[in-house]
Amino acid sequence: MPANLIDELDPEMAAHVRLLQGGAVPLATSTIEEIRAGARALRARWPRGPAMHSVEDSSFEGQRFRLYRPTAAARLPAVIFFHGGGWTLMDIDTHDAIARGLAEASGAALLSLDYPLAPEAPFPAAIDACQRFTEFVAEAAVAFGLVPGAFGLAGDSAGANLAVAVALRLRDAKRARPRGLCLLYGAYDSDLERPSYQRYGTGELPFSRARMEFFLHSYVPEPAQQRDPLFASLHADLAGLPPSLLLVGSHDALFDENVAMAERLRAAGNAAQLKIYPGAIHGFIEAARTVGAKLARQALADCGAFLAETLGNPEAG
């Protein structure tokens, strides 16, 4: 019988966890600037993602964004990607390899945004910025060399939370509608009492209940807002959303709310697939870069196939 949670993991995931532990910056004794710098420094040492036909940085409302084109096609469907990091950490550089991987797997152009971070920009500032950026990209599709109307939203962890919030906002505003949502181990609630938190959020694995509490207090400092359906989207009216693919590792503190979110999406009349990756942790897609983990590479392929199908992309494959 496994002596600890790491022994329960897929062996490649266990190796990835040890790499993360070697570069961890303690939350309790570090400033937000030190935590951000540590996250950037750790990922700067990892191998780069796949080559692209072109990569271009630009600016929207003072925030950086990056456009990846995996092929030379004149017009491509688009994936608008929101990075994870608990709404407080990370940027388009820490998630460059993930963005490249999703662009390669889907065959679509991918746009990644440096949305404003908490605590400097608390809820709902990131949602506001991501919605405006999405509308900007949809309206400027021809100028970007994109297929008009053929876009999807994707995000990992906090980025998946933002993708759902933007989809809800666009639905209610009757604005440009994404064709699909690719949601990697998203955060959909403020309830930290679920069994998966009790089992996998103890601190033995990199993503813990204490870490989520830090993120919550940074991004949504007002307790009443922690039940706002744009944050706790598990409690939102989810009717009328596009097809969704939800991916989660079996050993993720957010496992239970991902299962619940898939069920809620289906109950609201939406097409929603849930894929569970045995022996994988929260944030496991990064392991494609660190140790070439098969589970992480499979997740990228699954996302790519879903996005290509929902976006109608003949270039994928």
Say which residue the tokens 């596009």 belong to: 242
The catalytic residue among 157, 208, 233, 244 is 157
Helix, strand, coil share of the chain (percent; to 5): 40, 20, 40
Active site residue 128: no
Contacts of 156 (CB under 8 A, 6+ apart): 83, 84, 95, 98, 184, 185, 186, 283, 285
Reply yes or no on whether 282 is catalytic.
yes
Q: Which amino acid is at 238?
A: L
The size of the chain, in residues, is 317
Q: Are 238 and 270 in contact (CB under 8 A)?
A: yes
Provide the CA 265 distance to its chain's centre, in angstroms: 18
> Which residues have C-beta within 8 Å of that of residue 50, sequence separation ≥ 6?
100, 101, 104
- Catalytically annotated residue among 91, 252, 256, 302: 252
User: CB-hemisphere CA count at 13 Å for 282?
Assistant: 28
What tokens appear for 262 in the block? 């898939």
Maximal C-alpha separation, the chain: 58
User: Token digits for 33?
Assistant: 């600037």
Q: Which of 156, 228, 282, 302 is catalytic?
A: 282
Q: Pairing between strand 109-113 and 63-69?
A: antiparallel
Cβ atoms of residues 181 and 268 within 8 Å? no
The CA–CA distances, whole Å, from 221 to 22, 84, 217, 254, 304 equal: 30, 19, 5, 20, 35
Angle at 204 between CA 202 and CA 205, to 5 degrees: 100
Q: What are phi and psi of 121, to 5 degrees?
A: -125, 85
Residue 33 near residue 88 (C-beta atoms within 8 A): no
C-alpha to C-alpha distance for 212 and 216, rounded to whole angstroms:
6
DSSP at 144: T
Catalytic residue set: 157, 252, 282
